[in-house]
Amino acid sequence: MSHRALVAVDRSRAFDATRRFEELAFFHVPFDELNGDQSTETFFTHQVANEGRVAVIGSSGAGKSSLISSVLGPFALDLPERIVPLRVPVAAETDETVTEPGAMARHLVRYVTRWASPELFSPAEKDDFARSIAEVTRRAGTQKVRAFRISLPLWLADAEFAAQVQALGSSYESRGSSTDALEHLKRLVALFDHHGLFPVFVFDDSDTWLRIPGLDRTGVANQFFMRTIRMLAKEVSAGLVVAVHEHYLDLAGYREASAWFTGEVRIPRLIDARAGIEAILRDRLVVAGVEAPIGDVIDAAGIDQLAKFYESGRNLRDVLRVMHRSLQHALSDGVDLITESLVESVVTELSAGA
């Protein structure tokens, strides 16, 4: 491959290790396809379709958000149309909102109401949604896409239904008690049911409570599982999808909450690391619109090194980070191909800086 072509690969962002949540569904390669079984996407879809409550378990960078965006995204045609996934942000919320059931009920009422209210979105946000819809339409071609999908506001999926949600949600008095908030949330959920729809609250950014040097927020995670998830499971007739970092599994709160989940989906390791990584890289080139075989970007020995790196206990985000950095070095060195030695040097470089 020519150096100019490598520049085109870099410009396409094909190997970016992190992406906006809205883009993840385009780049997700099903684990079921990579591992030749039905224990991940198929099982997850079945659980959500049966109106279950699902914990998606894995380390940071393993693919929890990617999996969620795919199974609940625009191309998830195996999921019944009545399922309405609602991605609930918690990373920027106060500890009280996350750990107090009444405060969470209030947060959900406000969130669902906003998701149904076009006037509450800025022109820039509306432009982002328009670009996202156009990209989904372009990638779908003649394929059908879901009306209700994660990260798409209700008012863009069904304006008439959204107007009813907005009217009901706007009648909530935010200064009311925790009981008032919960009752109003139940009324909102009942409105979905009246229209033959089933809301699924999705919490995918819970890794924010991981313990980091100088700040231990595992207590927040513990209370979230013990109190908030308990309330949602026992009091609200809605589905749940919760991303659960594997470090949370030993928390007393999660052990208690696990009884309220109908299923656990564990992000699997690749059974054949080399074949899986090559498939992921190849697919990313296609999705990014790069008309080049993977062998023209990285040689076979380079992929072997990526697989070896993954098998040392690293995750897929780490692999993509190495691939992206290797591409940068290839460009700066003026070479035409990512080689084994280049990958090895990047692995050493990143390991030294870890």
Q: Examine residue 31 and state whether it is found in any structural domain, yes or no.
A: no
Q: Examine residue 74 and state whether it is found in any structural domain, yes or no.
A: yes
Sort strands 53-58 and 83-87 into parallel, antiparallel or unpaired. unpaired
Length of the chain, please?
Answer: 354
Residue 338 contacts residue 297 (beta carbons within 8 Å): yes
Q: 193 and 120, same structural domain? A: yes
DSSP string, 253-318: HHHHHTTT-SEEEEPPPPSSHHHHHHHHHHHHHHHTT--S-GGGTB-HHHHHHHHHHHHTT--HHH
Q: 308 and 241, same structural domain? A: no
Q: 293 and 222, same structural domain? A: no
Say which residue the tokens 């509306």 belong to. 126
Q: Out of 266, 290, 315, pick the residue that ends a domain.
A: 266
Per-position b or e across 57-86, b if 16+ CB within 10 A of its CB: bbbebbbbbbbbbbbbbbbbeebeeebbbb
Say which residue the tokens 């699997």 belong to. 268
Q: Out of 249, 266, 283, pick the residue that ends a domain.
A: 266
Q: 276 and 224, same structural domain? A: no
What is Dmax (Cα atoms) for the chain?
65
182: amino acid identity, one letter: L
Residue 41 contacts residue 71 (beta carbons within 8 Å): yes
Q: Out of 247, 266, 285, pick the residue that ends a domain.
A: 266
- This prediction's pTM: 0.93
Digitized pLDDT (tens) for each residue of the chain, 354 residues in all: 577 788 889 999 999 999 999 999 999 999 999 999 999 999 999 999 999 999 999 999 999 999 999 999 999 999 999 999 999 988 888 999 999 999 999 999 999 999 999 999 999 999 999 999 999 999 988 889 999 999 999 999 999 999 999 999 988 866 678 888 999 999 999 999 999 999 999 999 888 887 666 777 788 999 999 999 999 999 999 999 999 999 999 999 999 999 999 999 999 999 999 999 999 999 999 999 998 899 999 999 999 999 999 999 999 999 999 999 999 999 999 999 999 999 999 999 888 765
Residue 227 contacts residue 252 (beta carbons within 8 Å): no
Q: 235 and 295, same structural domain? A: no
Q: Which stretches does DSSP call E strand in the chain?
A: 53-58, 83-87, 198-203, 239-245, 263-266
Q: 48 and 9, same structural domain? A: no
Nearest CA to 158 out of 202, 104, 199 is that of 199
Instruction: Return d(Cα 322, Cα 353) in angstroms, integer.
Output: 13
Q: Examine residue 23 and state whether it is found in any structural domain, yes or no.
A: no
Host domain of residue 304: 3-16+271-353
Query: Domain with 190 in it: what CATH number?
Result: 3.40.50
Residue 330 contacts residue 10 (beta carbons within 8 Å): no
Residue 298 contacts residue 338 (beta carbons within 8 Å): yes
Instruction: Return d(Cα 270, Cα 290) in angstroms, integer.
Output: 25
Nearest CA to 290 out of 77, 53, 3, 7 is that of 7
Q: 209 and 83, same structural domain? A: yes
